[in-house]
Amino acid sequence: MLLSTPGLVLHTTPYGESSVVAKVFTRQLGVRSYIIKGVRNGRSRVKQNLMQPLCSVDMVVYCNPKNDLNHVRELTPRHPDYESRPVGNALRFFMTEVLYKAIREEEPMPDLWDYVEETCLRLTAEREAPTGNLPPVFMLEVARHLGIEPLDNHTEREPLFDLQAGRFAATANETTLPPALSAMLHDYLGSPAPESLSYPLAARRALIDALIAYFQLHLSGFRNFRSHEILHTIMR
């Protein structure tokens, strides 16, 4: 059976002499793996630049629910190529790694898919817009769609966010964040426009690291996260 669906490329692995196996976050089917023939051959109709992280593509795929690995019949770009910039590329790598390691099930998540594509398009269109808040905002939005969003019960009595419990607590333990970082997380959770919050770079880095630790505690496959190190280096 053939099915048409938009997709966002998450990861590719060489397959045979000229093909790749691509893990794609599809809008219709969730995360699936596909063989894309001949893409590493210079004569292929499918260009290799369509395999870049979070490249948005329209796909016609063979859909056999008994197979873990299906083939792609057609693959075309959904939008013009985005401009390659160090910060934009680092952000895409970061978002890709979050999705690749966070999404395990093959269930469709069209609302999350729409949010990710919209974020990528905005990142391309607003070339001069501030991007420092994107990583924590993105991670919190992904957490919401996956059902692991931190509970924003912050009060004067319970001011410390507990990474393990997923909520704010009254007393400190080995998994609570410091007061200032807890208050910062509360701001991001409660703000109607978290993209506009203004915090020093060091504070934003600390929040990203805390959210990575949070994902690692609540998602079994979220291990060996690396792309934030590149992000920290570029976003000075």
Question: Is residue 1 predicted with pLDDT exceeding 90?
Answer: no
Tell whether pTM > 0.85: yes
* CA–CA dist 41, 45 (Å, integer): 9
Name the pLDDT band for 83 (thresholds 50, 70, 90). low
* CA–CA dist 38, 20 (Å, integer): 8
| Contact indicator for 53, 88 with CB cutoff of 8 Å | no
Note the pLDDT of residue 129: 52
Task: List, for residues 93-132, the tens digit of each pLDDT value.
Answer: 999 999 999 998 778 999 999 999 999 888 876 555 557 8
Question: Is residue 169 predicted with pLDDT exceeding 90?
Answer: yes
Task: List, for residues 139-166, the tens digit of each pLDDT value.
Answer: 999 999 999 999 999 999 999 999 999 9
3-state secondary structure the chain: CEEEEEEEEEEEEEECCCEEEEEEEECCCEEEEEEECCCCCCCCCCCHHHHCCCCEEEEEEECCCCCCEEEEEEEEECCCCCCCCHHHHHHHHHHHHHHHHHCCCCCCCHHHHHHHHHHHHHHHHCCCCCCCCHHHHHHHHHHHHHCCCCCCCCCCCCCEEECCCCEEECCCCCCECCHHHHHHHHHHHHCCCHHHCCCCHHHHHHHHHHHHHHHHHHCCCCCCCCHHHHHHHHCC
Q: Which fold has domain 2-77?
A: OB fold (Dihydrolipoamide Acetyltransferase, E2P) (2.40.50)
| Contact indicator for 123, 91 with CB cutoff of 8 Å | yes
**Which CATH architecture does the domain made up of 86-234 adopt?**
Up-down Bundle (1.20)
In which residue are the tokens 């873990």 written? 68
Sorted by where each begins, the domain ranges of the chain are 2-77, 86-234
Q: By CB neighbour count within 10 A (0-12 exposed, 13-18 middle, 19+ buried), where does 49 fall?
A: exposed
